[in-house]
Amino acid sequence: MFTGIIEATGKLSAVQQRGADMTVTVYSDSLDFADVKLGDSIASNGVCLTVTKLAKHSFDADVSSETLAHTLFGRYQPGQVINLEKAMLPTTRMGGHIVSGHVDGITQVTKIEASGRAWHIWLALPKALAHYIAAKGSVTVDGVSLTVNELSAEAFRLTIVPHTATHTTLSQLKAGSQVHLEVDLIARYLERLLKKDSDSATGGVNMALLAQRGFL
C-alpha cells in the first residue's frame, strides 16, 4: 500500500522484453534505497512493482503481461522519467490517501491553465470510471495523490501546487499527455458491497435499505 506522496523521481535505464512481459531497471540517485530489500514494493508512476534486483541507486522489476495490458509501461522507453514511492510503513504519515498501486485506467490531459503559481489540469473522464470520481474526492495520477476540484460530465480538474510540480513528473504534462489513473480504493469496495445488495432479494439500493444500514 502507498499514500500517493511521491518520494523521488527516477528514470528507466533499461527495458528488456521477455516474451509477453518485460523487465525494467529503474535508476534514481534521489530515492533512499537503504531500507529496501528484495521483494519490496515500489510504486512507479502509480504501478506497484516488486523489487527483484537491487543496486546502490537502482532496482529491477518484472512487468507482467497483465500490467502491460492496462498501463503505459509497454510504451515506455529507456530515459522515461517516473514518480517513485516506497511502500508505506505503519508509522508513515497519511499525507495523501490509501493507494493500492493497481491502475484502473489510462486517461488524457485535455487542458492546462495557469492559476497564480499553481496549475489547473483537466483530464478526460473515462466512462467506465466516472462513477468512482467525486468532487473533492481523491484520485491518483501517475502515482500522485490529488484532489478532484471540479467535475463535469466529460472531464475533471486537478490543481497542481508548485511543490508537487517541482517534485513529480506532473510538470512535464501537456495537452494530449496520457497518464495512469487509480480511483479511490474505498469507492471500489463500496461499489462491490452495494452490488452485493442489489443482487440480493432486497431488489437493490433503496430508501428502506439505506435506513436499514443506518444511512437515514
Mean pLDDT of the chain: 93
pLDDT of residue 176: 98
- Asked if pLDDT for residue 201 goes beyond 60, the answer is no
| pLDDT (tens digit per residue) in 78-113 | 999 999 999 998 888 888 999 999 999 999 999 999
- Which one of 2.70.98.40, 2.40.30.20, 2.60.40.10, 1.10.3720.10 gives the CATH number of domain 105-189? 2.40.30.20
Counting residues of the chain whose pLDDT is more than 70, the rounded percentage is 94
| pLDDT (tens digit per residue) in 159-188 | 999 999 999 999 999 999 999 999 999 888
Locus of grid cell 435499505: 209
Give Rg (Cα) of the chain: 19
The domains spanning 8-86 and 105-189 adopt the same CATH topology: yes
Q: Is 107 within 8 Å of 183 (Cβ atoms)?
A: no
pLDDT of residue 196: 64
Contacts (Cβ under 8 Å, ≥6 apart) of 121: 109, 111, 112, 157, 158, 159, 160, 170, 173
Q: Where are the domains of the chain?
A: 8-86, 105-189
Per CATH, is 8-86 categorized as 2.40.30.20?
yes
Locus of grid cell 513528473: 169
pLDDT of residue 197: 56
